[in-house]
Structure 1
Amino acid sequence: MISFRNLNSIQRKVLLKLDCVALAVLARPHLPRPSTTKFILSLTLLPLFNVRTTAADKTGLTDLQKQILQDLSNYNENVQSVDKGISLFRDRLGGKRVLLILDDVDAEVQSNALVGDWLAPGSRVIITSRDKHMLHFARVSSECIHEMSGLQINEGLKLFSWHAFLRESPIPTHEDLAKRIVEACKGHPLSLEVIGAFLYDKHNETDCWTEAVDNITLHADNHKTLYISYSALSEEEKEIFLDIACFFIGEHKKIPIIFWKSLYRRVHTAISNLSLKLLIKIDEKSVFDMHDHLRDMGRTIAEEEKQGTRLWQTAHLSTASNIINFSRIRLNGGNLARLETVNRPGLRFLHLKNLVMDTLPMLPSSLIWLQLEKCSFAIQETFQFSVVGDILQMRIMQVHGGNISFNSDMIGNLSQLQHLDLEECTNLNNLPDIIGNLSQLQHLDLGGCTNLNNLPDTIGNLSQLQHLGLRWCTNVNNLPDTIGNLSQLQHLGLGWCTNVNNLPDTIGNLSQLQQLDLIGCRNLNNFPNTIGNLS
């Protein structure tokens, strides 16, 4: 269905009719995301994808409002409430003509928070939704709603053939089976693509083709059709697919791969197979993506078949029957009272965001990835590694912001740690000398730690370190000479370290260095002669 609203009038009646409406908006759960290539070029294009999923988080709607403000006015502050966001729209965005695309809206409160009288006359809004009734509740007139149909048989056969045979039409021996599959899929583009990719290497296995036809015909539901491809995956591939569906859409693949490598043996092969089968996508920036229907299928599987293994929304806390059995938990806002018993074997991944806690609960030795984002501790003002139990298997630790300082004597015992990210921990004054014991550490980011003093000499012992980020560490004066011992260092970020006035001569020893960020280092007086050794 398509919803166009002309915001010239209070009634927001649609005056614009497009010649590409078939590409614009979802009507049913099986159709692909729209393309707006041919739309009006004079408007500022502002797409907001996956509104339904984003809005499910506690700060989801205000995060979307912040995205609009950032894109249209370079506003970078947090939006405190939906009403505040609407007020900011009116103050900052009045007069802007925008083509606003809201993808996958399922509640009136979402459209009300993002669309309003702040849009200038001539602006247009496209809303995609799976729920036609929601558009009526949002006061969209019937003539502005267009329900899309599936592909015609010839179009569907071409799409399927490109994925199953790498050609425009089926091979002669499989023409009848291909037509039956296209008919059974009812023109659903995603189903045709995924089933085609699933059958691509099975041209000699006629039974697989016949079985696929029977299963698709039996299950008219699109998720059941897509499930055919999922069910053929190995156990490792299934687990990685479910992790991406529940947690890692929009995330760079590098850190999840560290996580998976501690659990599985064939991680890169699994990711490649998932991509070849079109169950996941990896963009040019190595970021995971997934069609929203595949995402929904994966989350349904996680809830029903893999019940009690993954928790990804705070709202699910009230319905979780046995929270201590989860191996992966991500919570954004809410009450942590029920997380006090997570100290048990099996918890591998814990991501807590925007939470106020009395103290950090005891964590088990099985934990591999800990992420605390803008969390505050009401009682315990210091984040102490000593309360985190025997977490010697941890590979990834990310602590961003919040009223956190570190009693870090035990950090050197995390011998398996590969990624340590302490961005914007403004209470962090020093790193302990024992940090030099982290022999496996590859990534250390201290960006925005504005009270951090100079690094310890033992930083030079990190023989595997590839990334050292100190951007906006405005209290750092100089780097230790031992920085030259970091033989694997590829990126050194010193941007806006305004107190740095010299670089050590040993910087010329960084033979693997590919990027040196010195932007904003206004007190840097000169470069050492050895800088010329960097090739």
Structure 2
Amino acid sequence: MAYHVFLSRGEDTRWTFSDHLYTALVGSGFRTLRDERGKNTTSLEREIIEKCKSSIIVFSKGYVSSGQCLDELVMVLELKRRCKHVVLPVFYDLEPTHVRKQTGVVAKAFARFESEAGEREGREQVEVWREALIEVAGLAGLVLQNQADGHESKFIKIIIQEIANKLDRTVLSVTPYPIGTDTRVKDINLWLQDESNSTGIMVIYGMGGIGKTTIAKIAYNQNSDRFEGSSFIANIRETSQQPNGMVRLQKQLLSNIVKQRKEKIYNIHEGIVKIKDAICCKRVLIVLDDVDELEQLNAVLEMRDWLYPGSKIIVTTRQERILKAHEGCERYQVKELSDVESLCLFSLNAFGQDRPIEAYSELSKKAVYFCSGLPLALEVLGSSLSGESVDVWESALAKLQTFSNAKIHNVLQVSYDCLDDHDKELFLDIVCFFLGQEKDYMDKILDGCGFHVTIGIRNLVRKCLVSISEIDNNTLMMHQLLRDMGREIIRQESPKEPGRRSRVWHHKDAFNVVKEKTGTEAIEGLILDLEARKDDIRAMNAKDSEHPHLEVLLRKRKSSKRHHQSILSWLPENSASRELFMEQDEQGFKTDAFSQMQRLRILQLYDVHLSGGYDKFPFKLRWLCWRGCPLTFIPNEFPLDHMVVLDLPYSNLVQFWKGTKLLKLLKILNLSRSYDLTSSPNFSKLPNLERLILKDCINLVEIKSLEKLILSGCSKLDELPPDLGKMETLKEFQVDGVNLLSSTTGEVKSWHEVVYSWVSKPSKRAEVSSASLPSFVVWLSLAHCNITDDTFPKDLSSMPLLQGLRLSRNPIRNLPSSIKDLGFLMELDLERCTRLQALPELPMSLKAMTNIRVQGTGKGNKSSKLVEFTDAEHVLYECGIYSIFLIGSAVPAWFKNKSIGCSMSLNVPSLAKQGTWGLKVCICYGLSPNYKKSKWRHECIVVNNKTRGLKWTYRSAFIGAAAEGQDLMWLSDWRIGDQIMEGGDEVTVSVHMDDDFQVKEFGVRVEHNIEQEADGIDLSAYQMGSGEYFLCNHEEYARSKHYSMMAGLGSDLVEKCLCGFQYEKHTMH
């Protein structure tokens, strides 16, 4: 079995830090090898270690004092040099400088080694160890004292993420102390790995906080790479209740399965069709976390008929009742931890070790008793009491003792009681208003409210009270039990009078407070959601109607009236259900209902109509979210002086406001889907505006002269401000769907990182002039604009800062010669430019050129030899090397040097020492009989100039995989400057292919007086050692790693020939 990680450690960390790290690695899905016996490494074990993809070296005082450990280190570094084995040094209780300079405890250890090394071989071995320590200390590593303030559990999380990045794996974050999960996950793994062709559904159930999600994450991490597609959909219950929540979940599922960054879904029914198409043709693993409705489970079970044989679905739920109606699924109940497991987990969180400190032993046992084997309670209580005195412990536990039966709510509240006043208020704001919000968005709002958000969030994360999602745009997350605990604290402020509470989050309480005008100065935040109230009423009616299944659908709909109308087309005209949907029990509210709430900071209104003046409206508002605002403009008396974020989506605004008020604090303005809006605000009155969102403002015809400007879908916009080029802070600019761009002139005052994504309607032919392209643009997308040679500008020099150019899906035949003048251009994307005939001279800065299909026999300035092949499907350019993949089983006749092996030596002709030399390499290969479609690729071409002592190893970002019975040709053209060779040099060229492929024939052609493509490229960036270069630009593909080089070409040749492209991200040290 191949392993992901070899864990090398000393005896002193074997049962402590290294053991915790090993458990976390396994829990995160990394197949991890470690020495279980503590004896010398045998030859068999060395062979196993050599199959590991990476090594983690845990440096400790015991490690550098052990000859066996140092032998392992030497072997690991040999692997690194020989096959680019990934090495991650972790400095546990040693500083890297002590290892590199070999001082302190390292010096003492080596003094002992040298005194014991009597023979010559022994002394030589000590020198090998010294060199190994110097080499490894120079690698990028992690130091405990520099990370997470020395917190071992946080440090382990950082190590997991770092090795995941180096191995290019997506790993779900799990608790650093997964105590008791091994035995619980074992049965689930057996089910997932049964290798049967039957589809299966397993439901994991148990009470809240018992560890269902953790167990599901661990099982997912350990098994997702066994399936062709996988997706973990977290927090379904919470997300599905948010506006457009079900569509968001569908988008995530579809994006994960088809491995695309974004999938467009406009409604639930379209999402169902797309998901069905995606999961019916490959084995998938899908985890649906926190399902709480019977109808949701029914929908999952109906998916069984769509699944490809061998696919699996895991559902987690706390609702055991929803299982009773179903016999067709496996069930697994998660039970409480044992007393031993509970004490261990509590101790790890409280003391950083698996047993209590002696002085706290009896107190720890009492704390564990109150937690009743619930992992969430053990983690939260242990983290909250960590570092506190005995007196604090006794006080906290005495408080728990006063509660009969010590309900879990009271246990969790101890963690809240341990917070200072600032963090308590921050916590209560989060539980009511910010769960599921992006952290950056929340930061701006709460900073405006006077909170110290950065330090506050860090404290809450340390106390295990809040987490930040790593897979969902850095959104804030919290366990439901903690959320309920926080909201109960607020309810207890005034159990019978919601108007006297600091925060009113429930729509029923808010409705009564505003309707009856019982609000007081105590209220700091309020959510009034009429749509949620209507859903409750309709759901109760639906239970007694002839359409009982409408209850779930109704509960999920929280959007504007426009959306209600758009999804109703499938209902019968006379349907009672339609009347139910269209019920407009509009409630009348007065603005003076808010007049007493003068401390109100946060106000969220959904489909609420207010009547009256705004002169007495709360003046301290920092965040107003008013979805479906009925106003046609903002009145002058509306209190906006302290506003930081103003969200008015789906509003009736025609213009923002008629006044000239200066809004000094406003940072975010969202007017998206305000369909009647015709003009933007006057930006001169918004000096600190950072983000303006005008998405789908279809009647917007003018924007006046921001870190982010989004104009996507503004189909009637036909003019941009003339001074757009002077906007010094603009970082992101998106104008999808805009048909005509006016001149954008002006002085460029700073380096702008601008996304200028212009997608014109394919049915029209876009005419692009140089004047219509802003001079500050850095990334330009003109994809799918029906651009031809006649409509594309001949002069591109007006965009001197351009780094990326996307021209995919256009019928363009030739690129303008002026492209060579784009001195900063690094990426060029020509996917599906099916009429492309030739390539001109390209800029020296270009590092990545992918997705090119050359159909004609046109002759470009510097790449004619490559594009003369009429069957050529793709050209890849990186590091001064062109690569192309095409069907073929024999090296062309014009290659003078051929071999049926994988290596050859040749002498460069000495008759002409002047001029520059280049190489062309051709490799014909097919699938090996043992082809396994491995995810990891190790193909490379090695050019070794023995005369000059130079060596280049080139690893292509992509590799073509032929279909069974077919052969491919990989042709590469090396133009990496005049340093590669000279006349008279002895050069060896070899190719190294993965076991999945078999080399049929191999050819090399030496060329003289070629025009170099990459004069001026600094190859020092690729230098691995003296005279040795590793040419690999995979880092440049990090943001586009989901690209498939053959994606969507629709060519039979590509489908037959290039069906298995793989991407591998390499990390260089």
Q: Which runs of 5+ in 2 are unaligned?
A: 1-185, 192-201, 530-557, 561-585, 587-606, 761-766, 802-822, 826-844, 846-1069
Q: Does 1:47 align with 2:232?
A: yes
Contact 1:329/1:350 (CA < 8 Å) preserved in 2? no
Q: CA deviation at 1:330?
A: 7.5
SS at match of 2:671: strand
> How many Å apart are 1:97 and its aligned residue?
4.4
The residue aligned with 2:381 is 195
> In 1, are the aligned partners of 2:677 and 2:697 still within 8 Å (CA)?
yes
Q: Which residue of 2 aligns with 1:13?
A: none
Instruction: Kindly state the Cα deviation for residue 116 of structure 1 after the two structures are TM-superposed.
Output: 0.8
Checking the alignment, whether the CA contact within 8 Å between 1:191 and 1:226 is kept in structure 2 is: yes
* CA deviation profile, 1:225-260 (whole Å, cap 9, x unmatched): 222222333343233323333343344322221212
**Distance change (3 Å), C-alpha of 1:360 and 1:218:** farther
CA gap of 1:505–1:155, structure 2 versus 1, over 3 A, is same
What residue is the counterpart of 2:306 in the other structure?
A: 119
Distance 1:302 1:402 in 2: 35
Are the equivalent residues in 2 in contact too, given 1:476–1:497 (CA < 8 A)? Answer: no
Partner of 1:79: 267
Residue 30 (str. 1) matches residue 214 (str. 2): no
Q: Residues 146 and 493 (structure 1 numbering): CA distance in 2 closer, same or farther, change over 3 Å?
A: same
Please state if 1:246 is matched with 2:427: no
Residues 423, 460 of structure 2: 8 Å contact kept: yes
**Distance change >3 Å, CA 300–CA 467, structure 1 → 2:** farther
> Cα deviation per residue 1:168-208 (whole Å; 9 max; x = unaligned)?
33222222222221222122222222222222231xx2111
Q: 1:265 to 1:251 in 2, by over 3 A?
A: closer
Report 1:54-453 matches (<5 A): 54-57=239-242, 59-72=244-257, 76-79=264-267, 93-94=279-280, 97-117=283-303, 118-120=305-307, 121-136=309-324, 139-141=325-327, 144-202=330-388, 205-219=389-403, 220-283=406-469, 286-302=474-490, 305=493, 307=498, 310=503, 318=511, 327-329=525-527, 331=529, 332-333=558-559, 336-337=607-608, 339-340=610-611, 343-353=617-627, 355=628, 357=630, 363-365=638-640, 366-373=642-649, 375=650, 377=652, 382-386=654-658, 393-408=665-680, 410-433=682-705, 441-453=706-718
Deviation, structure 1 residue 72: 4.5
Residues 208 and 318 in structure 2, CA contact (< 8 A), matched pair in contact too = yes
SS in 2 for 1:53: helix
**Residue of structure 2 in register with 1:470 after alignment:** 734
User: Which residue of 2 is the match for residue 516 of structure 1?
Assistant: 778
Q: Could you tell me how far apart the structure 2 residues matched to 1:506 and 1:387 are?
A: 31
The match for 1:4 is: none
2 CA distance for matches of 1:480 and 1:520? 17
Pick one of 749, 753, 756 that aligns with 1:491: 753
Q: Which has the higher strand share?
A: 2
* 1:91–1:255 CA distance, 2 compared to 1 (3 A): closer
Give the Cα–Cα distance (whole angstroms) in 1 for the partners of residues 702 and 768 of structure 2: 16
Deviation of residue 164 (structure 1)? 1.8
Distance 1:229 1:92, change over 3 A: closer
Q: What is the distance in 2 between the residues matched to 1:455 and 1:140?
A: 59
1:10-61 per-position Cα deviation (integer Å, ceiling 9, x unaligned): xxxxxx963579x983411122313223447336333322222123246444
Structure-2 separation of matches of 1:468 and 1:19: 44
1:326/1:233 Cα in 2 relative to 1: closer, same or farther (>3 Å)? same
Hey, what's the Cα distance between the residues in 1 that align with 2:352 and 2:266? Answer: 48
Report if aligned partners of 1:424, 1:448 keep a CA contact under 8 Å in 2: yes
What is the distance in 2 between the residues matched to 1:457 and 1:146? 64
SS at match of 1:494: strand
Q: Distance in 1 between matches of 2:343 and 2:758?
A: 56
Query: Cα deviations across residues 472-501 of structure 1 (Å, max 9, x unaligned)?
Result: 26345366333513x3x5521112366654
Contact 1:383 / 1:405 at 8 angstroms: preserved in 2?
yes
Quote the residue 1:5 is aligned against. none
Equivalent pair of 1:259/1:396 in contact (CA under 8 Å): no
**What letter matches 1:527 in structure 2?**
S
Q: Distance in 1 between matches of 2:746 and 2:687?
A: 21
Distance 1:411 1:339, change over 3 A: farther
Contact 1:385–1:407 under 8 Å retained in 2: no
Separation in 1 of the partners of 2:730 and 2:682?
23
Q: 2:255 and 2:189 mapped to 1: Cα distance? A: 31
Cα gap change, 1:145 to 1:428, in 2 (>3 Å)? same
Distance 1:234 1:134, change over 3 A: same
* Structure 1 residue 401: Cα displacement: 2.5
Contact 1:401 1:425 in 2 (8 A): yes
- Assess, with a 3 A threshold, how the Cα gap between structure 1 residues 333 and 472 changes in structure 2: closer, same or farther: closer
Corresponding letter in the other structure for 2:671: V
Instruction: Report the identity percentage.
Output: 26
Greater alpha carbon shift after TM alignment, 262-271 vs 90-99:
90-99
1:271 is displaced (CA, Å) by 1.8
| Deviation, structure 1 residue 447 | 3.9
1:350 alignment partner, SS class? strand
Q: What amino acid is the match of 2:391?
A: D
Q: Is contact 2:203-2:329 (8 Å) kept? A: no
Q: Select the structure of larger CA radius of gyration.
A: 2
Aligned residues of 2:743 and 2:773 also touching (Cα < 8 A)? no
Aligned CA-pair RMSD: 4.1
- In structure 1, the residue matched to 2:770 is 502
CA distance in 1, matches of 2:688, 2:799: 37
Which residue matches 1:527? 797
Q: Distance in 2 between matches of 1:45 and 1:29?
A: 25
- Which structure's relative contact order is higher, taking Cα pairs within 8 Å and 6+ residues apart? 1
Structure 1 residues 43, 344: closer, same or farther in 2, change over 3 A?
Answer: same
Match of 2:92 in 1: none
User: Partners in 2 of 1:425 and 1:475 — Cα distance?
Assistant: 15
- Alpha-carbon deviation of 1:506? 9.3
Asked if 2 retains the 8 angstrom alpha-carbon contact of 1:477 and 1:501, the reply is no
Q: 1:30 touches 1:222 (CA, 8 Å); kept in 2? A: no
- With over 3 angstroms needed to count, the CA separation of the structure-2 counterparts of 1:403 and 1:458, relative to structure 1, is same
Instruction: Give 3-state SS (helix, strand or coil) of 1:125's partner.
Output: strand
Contact residue 209 and residue 374 of structure 2 kept, 8 A:
yes
Structure 1 counterpart of 2:710, one-letter code? D
Contact 1:215 1:225 in 2 (8 A): no
Quick check: 2:229–2:284 contact (8 Å CA) kept in 1?
Answer: yes
Measure, in 1, the Cα distance between the counterparts of 2:726 and 2:288: 50
Q: 1:483 & 1:162 partners in 2: Cα distance?
A: 59
**Aligned residue in 1 for 2:188:** 18
Contact 1:466 1:491 in 2 (8 A): yes
Residue deviations 1:382-409 (CA, integer Å, cap 9, x gap): 1432399986643321122241424445
DSSP-derived class of the 2:207 partner? coil
In structure 1, what residue type is equivalent to 2:624? L
Q: So what's the TM-score if we normalise by structure 1?
A: 0.77
Shift of 1:94: 4.2
1: distance between equivalents of 2:824 and 2:272? Answer: 54
